[in-house]
Amino acid sequence: MAPSVGRRLADAKQRFKGRQPLRFQLELTPYFADGVPSNIKRASFLWQRGPKLQYTSFSDTSTDGTVHWNDALTQTSTLYRSGNTFAQKEYSFKLQGVKGESKDERPRTFAKAQIDLAAYCSCESSGTRDLIVELSPHGRVHVGVMTTWLKNSTPEQDSLTDLSYLSIGPSGPSSTVAGDQDLDGFDEQPALKATPQRKVAFSHSLSMPAPKRPSRSFSIPAGGPPTTNRELRSTKSSMTLLRQDNAVVGTPALERTKTMPTLQVDTPRSFAGFQTVPLEESDLVTPTIPRRPRDDLRANLHRKTKSEPVTPDMALSIPEDEPCSPPAPERRSTDLEEAYSTLLSSESEDEGGAGPVASVRRWWTGGKPKRPQMPHSPFSDAAEAARVAELDAINRETDVEALRARCRALVQDRDVAQQERAQLHRKIMRMDRDLEQMELAKKGMQERLAVSEDRLMRITRDDTMTSLVHAKLTLAQTDYDNLELQACSLSSPILLSFRLTLHFPF
């Protein structure tokens, strides 16, 4: 599809300024928001730019003012690059909520912010970036942003049909997403009322009703209702074609040559509104009752089912549940004693001591019958075994109040787990910030250490040279003093005359 006039004009204007249009896919994952007012019971996150709108489903607000989402939002956008930088492109982040006063309450915006997502776009893959966006007038939202450059994508269309599929449905956002006064109506005083908001007119293609199909009447052909197998198959094929025609919305299909007879309920032996047709004896099929799953059998061991015999005037027999059978009569002690004496007086002996007689004898004589031991536990993890046992207990529970109490406990456990997850996420983000600061401090300390080592080496070298020169001078002075001492110790006349000659050369 060719780009619209507005898109071509925008691209021409940006190219005239020396900017290159690039197509990006923006994926936004809202994690959670904190600082939600206490009067907001449910909240949703909205991501909007012009006619493009995406939003998450409504989630319950916890007691600490935190709301979590599990949705991922995606949009495609055209960014204009000049050199190595992208032109600014702002998007709106909004939080809409309801107070839960009525079922027909319309959601209203209670916090919003503007953010430039072009600053996080790059032609190279950079992964997901976690952001914390401050909202006005209060609250924060924690989101993850991932951008992908679409190299071979065509320019986007400036049309209202670019709305995400998430924005279509009865639980969509309020029409006040484009209003200027959409922050009213969420103060703590319920007496204050919000001013009317402007409405956004969406494309008519989203709400266009389907064309109505004229109803078709059927008449009974001459000869009465079908009685043979061939007529029954023809009637069945006509019913199948009728269901297919009614399922298609559009222009009416061509009238079928065969029409289905008018179906009326005249006898209590009708099924799903269709009149039963008597069959021949050769066409009768004995119905079979499908096997129930094991969970259903465990839960209904006290019930019995039976099926009525097939009659020529009834095509299918539905099994009916009988009331609970009366309990079996309790065995008296005399009966047990008689059975015990009969077993003990029995001359038959089981082979290997594994029969019922040997088991009963071991039981009555003090030992318990041997029971097969499982080679290993079916669950390697104790937590998994406990979870399966809890699910079985819930399936066997029949008390409604007990199930409701269990549901409330599970909801509380879920809220506690969500709070713990939020606290853990905040702790992780705080630790990441501390780690970044420590990395910066480490880098600075390494630079200062390198400079200090250089200066220390220079100072040490100078000191070493000075000490070496001083040591050499000291050694020379010591040698000179030694020579003087040796000269003074000599008292021979030759040395004396030599000294006199040195002092008085003439």
pLDDT tens per residue, the chain (506 residues)? Answer: 556 666 666 666 666 566 678 888 888 899 999 988 888 889 999 998 888 888 999 998 888 889 999 888 988 888 888 777 788 889 999 999 988 777 778 888 899 999 888 888 888 777 888 889 999 888 899 999 988 888 766 544 443 334 333 333 434 555 444 444 444 444 444 433 333 333 333 333 333 444 444 444 444 444 455 555 555 555 555 544 444 444 444 444 444 444 444 444 444 444 444 455 555 555 554 545 555 555 544 444 444 444 444 444 444 444 554 545 555 555 555 566 666 666 656 555 555 555 666 666 666 665 555 555 555 445 456 677 777 788 888 888 888 888 888 888 888 989 999 999 999 999 999 999 999 999 999 988 999 999 988 888 889 888 888 989 989 999 999 988 888 887 777 655 566 666 666 655 55
Does this model's pTM top 0.75? My answer is no
Check residue 167 and give its pLDDT. 39
- Domain extents for the chain? 5-203, 405-479
Q: How many CA atoms lie within 13 A of 420 on its CB side?
A: 6
**If one looks up domain 5-203 in CATH, what number appears?**
2.60.40.150
User: 400: helix, coil or strand?
Assistant: helix
Residue 164 has a pLDDT of: 38
Is residue 75 a contact partner of residue 23, using CB atoms and an 8 Å limit? no
Q: Which residues pair with 137 in a beta bridge?
A: none
Q: What was the pLDDT predicted at 169?
A: 40
Whether omega for the bond prior to residue 137 falls within 30 degrees of 0, making it cis, is yes
Give me the pLDDT at residue 396, please: 82
Q: How much is the pLDDT for 424?
A: 93
Alpha-carbon distance of 124 to 146, in angstroms, equals: 11
Q: Which two three-digit tokens encode residue 84?
A: 């190595």
Judge residue 163's burial from the number of C-beta atoms within 10 Å of its C-beta, 0-12 exposed, 13-18 middle, 19 or more buried: middle
Q: What's the rounded Cα separation, in Å, for the pair 465 and 376?
A: 80
DSSP reduced 3-state for 131 = strand
505 vs 121, 491, 498, 500, 501, CA distance in Å? 101, 20, 10, 8, 5
Contact (Cβ atoms closer than 8 angstroms) between residue 287 and residue 317 = yes
